[in-house]
Each structure stands twice: as C-alpha cells, then as structure tokens.
C-alpha cells in the first residue's frame, strides 16, 4: 500500500508522541530514584538530593525497590549504639555516610514514562482555600499564594503546587496540591497564615500582624525598588531597598533592644547583633542593623540587600527576587483575614495501582467489543483492523500531548480519553460508510462528504466542552483538556489518515 503524506504525517506524530511519553534516558537505567531527602540529615549534608538515582549500596547493585530495602534490612538495629558506615553509589558520585540510623531518604522506582497521574490516582492531598467572610481580589490571592509558598519551603515540603485559581462565578481561591504522602499537620498548615517574628538576641522586636507592622512598601517606586547595579569585575550585583512601617509600640521596643547593642568591630557600619527573621519559629533570614538605628525610635525602617548575577539582567532579577522574598516574609501574618479550607482531599496512594489497572482493562475491553461490532457489521478484516489501529493511535497522541504539556491525568481526564475513543470510532464509521455509499461519486468526493459530517460533529463537540474549562475552579477541566486534544488530533491527523487508508482499500 502506498503511503500518502497524510498517513506519513500520522506516523510522524505518533513517533513524536511515543518519544514524549517515554523517558528515554530512564528506559534502560537501573536503580531507584530518590524522591525526598530530609534536609536535616547527614545524607543531605553529604550531597544526596531529590531526583538522583541510586545504583548501588555498599558495593551491591541496586536494581529495584526490593534490593533497596534488602540493603538496609537488619543493618541499623537499635541495640548497636555506634555509627555504621554506608556507601551509597549514585549515578554521579559515591557518598559515604556514618550514622546510627538509616539514611533519611525515600525512594521510588525510576519513572519509565513521562505520563503523570493526578492526585485521585497517585495519592496526595489537595486543598482549596478561601478567606473567611471576605471576597479576595486576585492581588490579595497572589500575596496569600506567595506567603504560603514560603511557609511550605520552610517546612521542607517540596513536591507541591500552590496556585491562584478562579471559577465561573468570579470567586478566587488558593489551590494547594501536594503529591505523595500528606504532611501530618496539613490542615493547620494551610488554615493559618503563619507566624512571622523578628528577633534580636532572641528577644522579640516585632511580630507579623497589623499591631506591629502597619505596612510593608511594595510596588511603590518611592519607597521600594532596585537602586544601583554595578559591575563587580566578576559579574554584576544590584542593590534593593524597601521601607517597612512599624507601629509606635514596635518602634519603641526596637529602640529599647538596640540601645544596649555595640557597634560591630569588624564592620563599623553595623551593630554587633543581627535582626533575625523567623517564620513559624524557624530562622529564615538575618539582616544587619545599621548603626544609626541604635536606640532610635523610628516607625519607618529601611531594609536593603542585593542580588548578583553574570549579566546585569540576571543581577537585577536576582535582587528583585530577594526583595520579593523578604517582603512576603514580612507580610506573613499581616493579611487582614482568616482562612477557611473549603475543600480538602487527602488521597492515599494505596489503591492507585489497582485503579490504573482496572481502567486499562476497561479500555481494552471497550476496544475489543467495539472491534467485534465493527467486524460483524463490515465483515472486512482489513478495515476493522485499521479502525482499531487508528483509535489506538489517537490514545497514543493524547498521552503524548498530555506528557508534553505535563498534564496530570486524573480520573476525569481518563474519562475524556474514553469519550474520545467513542467519538473517534463513530466518525470512522461515518467515513467507512460514506466510502461504501453511492458508487457513482469518486472516492475523493465521498471522503469530502464524510468530512462535512465529521467536522459538524467535531465543532458541536468542541463548543460544548469549552464552558467546562472554567466551571468548578478548574477541578474538572481535565476532562475538557483530554477530550479537546483527542477530538482535535482526530479531525486534523488521524481521521484524514484513516480516510486515505480507506481510499487505498476501496481502490
């Protein structure tokens, strides 16, 4: 059979879809993937990081999770009270650990594909957060999102998404998604804004909230911005500064504490103690205190800092980033509303595998039963097989695009894929039947007719999906996305190719 350009096009798209689905570098890689490393552990200090691949422990090759747990089995028993040596070989390096406990890392199998499943299949937690009794503007939501991101960083929770979302009724939410295990005190963590405290010598100077910090200057060029950028000979650095307004009482406290401080001997511009910034009782930053602030009651203090980079732009952006980070820390606890969790899902990863398996069975059973119907109706093995191949290639294209745009496939996305198979087969039946019909028209003309019907069906299907994209804070848009990808790929790629195949068969 001669391959037309439309069929070639399908083959090429399929090829790229497969490339996008499979993680080529990991396909033949043996070992286990590190999914998390406790940031306070010796493993972290020695350089083990999330995303690295362990290929050996104590000289033994590690090829599976089983090997990994066997390697540590019985090695660290509680009776022994001495440090034990462990050699961990990763793809990049060899790390030697001495500790009393097993290294605080979690691992998983290496992902052979780029297909990501949603929370309802892979487990994890998801929360939608709103302000209590207050409609937040999108600007306020952005602040909340920034503050929350900072806090999660402090807690060392890494595989997390915090996003502002809005819905059809114009409500704004903060959406938090955490893949994998659910943090223990998640509810408290997201239902509160967090606690900010600035201390000098472990004495509290001011805390987050309007009582102490009346405002933090942001987005106002007169009191916040990046000032000078300089060439340091080895790249650039830029300085930023912004004002923070304190209440009288906080300013008084500040004067009271700084009064007794001495001027730093090594750097005479500053005082000997620093202003320590704490987020949820964890130190996140320390700032030098200028010597002229010593003992002075001032309600306006200025915070400055810098950012460096290879180019002027890099330095500018880095300074801006550092400034934003400090600003968000300072507004933590000052947001003038209480938070309310309006939706909280914590989903165990336990059933996910069984679930995916049953969905795969459902897909296979559906395709097989359809092919039986098609064969009964047309009694042509070749057309039926091509119809089946076309449908399967549609699924491959959807998965390829989903992997490419990093879309997490949740249950509704999968329902969307199944819906696409359905409409796809329907449209192929139209093509097959038009090919058989009215023999006095050329096959080309017949295919043209088939496509007017197919396009009509495509557009009605497409427009009916669009409203779903926004409804329900986007939690249901997975269905719309996979279906739109599927039917569009169908009309543009697979259906034309199928029509050409049918043409060849008919001729």
Partner 1 sequence: MTRVRIPTGAFYKMENQENKEKIQETKKEESQTTDKNITHKKTFGHFHDKYYKFLLLIPISFLIFSFIYISIFYSNHNDFFRKDISLTGGTSATIYGEFNVNDLKQELSGKLEDVNVREIYDIVTKEQKAVIIETKTSGEETKKVLENYLGYELNDNNSSFEFSGSALSQSFYRQLLLAIFFAFVLMAIVVFILFRTFIPSSAVIISAFADILMTLVSVNLLGIRVSNAGIVAFLMLIGYSVDTDILLTNRVLKRSGEDSLNKRIFGAFKTGMTMTVAALVAVVSALIVVKSFSAVLSQIFTIISIGLVFDIFNTWVTNVSILKWYLERKQKEKRE
Spell out, one character per residue from 368 to 407, where the chain touches partner 1: x when CB under 8 A holds, - when not: xxx-xxx--x------------------------------
Buried b (16+ CB within 10 A) or exposed e, 146-181: bbbbbbbebbebeebebebbeeeeeebbbbbbbbbb
Question: Is residue 255 near partner 1 by the rule CB under 8 A?
Answer: no
Question: From the list 274, 349, 392, 488, which residue makes contact with partner 1 (rule: CB under 8 A)?
Answer: 349
Taking CB under 8 A as the criterion, which residues in 415-434 touch partner 1? 415, 418-419, 421-423, 425-427, 429-430, 433
Classify residue 411 by burial, with Cβ atoms within 10 Å: 0-12, 13-18, 19+.
Answer: middle
Question: Is residue 348 near partner 1 by the rule CB under 8 A?
Answer: yes
Distance CA 363, CA 371 (A): 12
Taking CB under 8 A as the criterion, which residues in 173-192 touch partner 1? 181-182, 187
Q: Rank residues 286 and 452 by Cβ distance to partner 1 and give the closer one.
A: 452
Distance CA 215, CA 209 (A): 9
Instruction: Please say whether the beta carbons of 470 and 382 come within 8 A.
Output: no
Backbone φ and ψ for 79, nearest 5 degrees, come out as -70, -40
Say how many residues make up the chain.
Answer: 507
What is the number of other CB atoms lying within 10 angstroms of the CB of residue 115?
A: 18
Q: Rank residues 59 and 170 by Cβ distance to partner 1 and give the closer one.
A: 170
Question: From the list 3, 24, 87, 351, which residue makes contact with partner 1 (rule: CB under 8 A)?
Answer: 351
Residue partners of 23: CB distance under 8 A and separation at least 6:
110, 111, 112, 113, 114
Question: From the list 18, 165, 366, 392, which residue makes contact with partner 1 (rule: CB under 8 A)?
Answer: 366
Distance CA 104, CA 88 (A): 13
Q: Rank residues 158 and 317 by Cβ distance to partner 1 and give the closer one.
A: 158
Shortest distance (Å) from residue 399 CB to partner 1: 18
Taking CB under 8 A as the criterion, which residues in 288-347 touch partner 1? 340-347
Do the bridges between strand 282-290 and strand 203-207 make them parallel or antiparallel, or are there none, so unpaired?
Answer: unpaired
Shortest distance (Å) from residue 347 CB to partner 1: 4
User: Applying CB under 8 A, what is the total number of residues that bind partner 1?
Assistant: 85
Q: Rank residues 107 and 146 by Cβ distance to partner 1 and give the closer one.
A: 107
**Max intra-chain CA distance, the chain:** 103
Taking CB under 8 A as the criterion, which residues in 441-460 touch partner 1? 441-445, 452-453, 456-457, 459-460
Pick the piece of the chain touching partner 1 (CB under 8 A) from 88-96, 123-131, 272-280, 325-333.
Answer: 123-131
Shortest distance (Å) from residue 226 CB to partner 1: 40
């Amino acid at each position: 059979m001669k391959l037309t350009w439309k069929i070639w096009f399908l083959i090429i798209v399929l090829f790229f879809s497969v490339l996008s689905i499979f993680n080529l570098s990991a396909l033949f890689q043996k070992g286990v993937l590190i999914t998390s490393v406790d940031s306070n552990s010796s493993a972290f200090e020695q350089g083990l990081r999330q995303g690295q691949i362990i290929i050996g422990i104590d000289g033994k090759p590690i090829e599976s999770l089983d090997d990994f747990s066997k390697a540590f089995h019985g090695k660290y028993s509680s009776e022994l009270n001495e440090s034990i040596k462990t050699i961990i070989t990763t793809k990049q390096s060899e790390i030697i650990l001495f500790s009393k406990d097993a290294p605080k890392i979690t691992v998983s199998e290496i992902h052979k594909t780029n297909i990501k499943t949603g929370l309802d299949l892979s487990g994890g937690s998801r929360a939608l957060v709103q302000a209590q009794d207050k409609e937040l503007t999108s600007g306020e939501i952005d602040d909340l999102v920034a503050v929350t991101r900072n806090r999660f960083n402090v807690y060392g929770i890494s595989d997390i998404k915090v996003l502002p979302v809005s819905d059809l009724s114009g409500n704004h939410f903060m959406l938090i998604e955490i893949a994998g295990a659910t943090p223990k005190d998640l509810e408290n963590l997201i239902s509160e804004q967090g606690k900010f405290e600035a201390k000098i010598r472990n004495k509290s100077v001011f805390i987050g909230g309007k009582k102490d910090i009346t405002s933090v200057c942001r987005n106002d060029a007169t009191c916040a911005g990046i000032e000078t950028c300089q060439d340091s000979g080895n790249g650039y650095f830029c300085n930023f500064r912004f004002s923070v307004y304190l209440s009288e009482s906080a300013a008084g406290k500040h004067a009271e504490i700084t009064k007794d401080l001495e001027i730093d001997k090594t750097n005479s511009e500053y005082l000997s103690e620093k202003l320590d910034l704490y987020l949820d009782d964890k130190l996140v930053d320390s700032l030098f205190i200028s010597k002229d602030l010593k003992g002075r009651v001032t309600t306006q203090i200025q915070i400055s800092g810098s950012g460096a980079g290879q180019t002027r732009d890099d330095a500018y952006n880095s300074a801006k980033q550092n400034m934003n980070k400090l600003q968000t820390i300072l507004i933590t606890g000052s947001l003038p509303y209480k938070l309310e969790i309006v939706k909280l899902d914590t989903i165990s990863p336990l059933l996910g595998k069984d679930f995916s398996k049953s969905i795969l069975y459902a897909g296979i059973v559906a395709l097989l039963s359809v092919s039986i119907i098609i064969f009964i109706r047309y009694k042509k093995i070749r057309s039926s097989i091509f119809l089946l191949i076309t449908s399967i290639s549609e699924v491959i294209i959807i998965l390829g695009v989903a992997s490419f745009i990093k879309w997490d496939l949740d249950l509704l996305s999968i329902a969307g894929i199944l819906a696409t198979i359905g409409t796809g087969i329907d449209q192929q039946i139209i093509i097959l039947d038009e090919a058989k019909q009215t023999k006095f028209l050329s096959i080309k003309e017949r295919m043209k007719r088939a496509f007017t019907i197919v396009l009509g069906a495509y557009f009605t299907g497409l427009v009916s999906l669009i409203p779903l994209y926004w409804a329900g804070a986007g939690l249901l848009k997975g269905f719309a996305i996979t279906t739109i990808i599927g039917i569009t790929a169908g009309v543009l790629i697979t259906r034309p190719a199928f029509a050409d195949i049918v043409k060849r068969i008919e001729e």
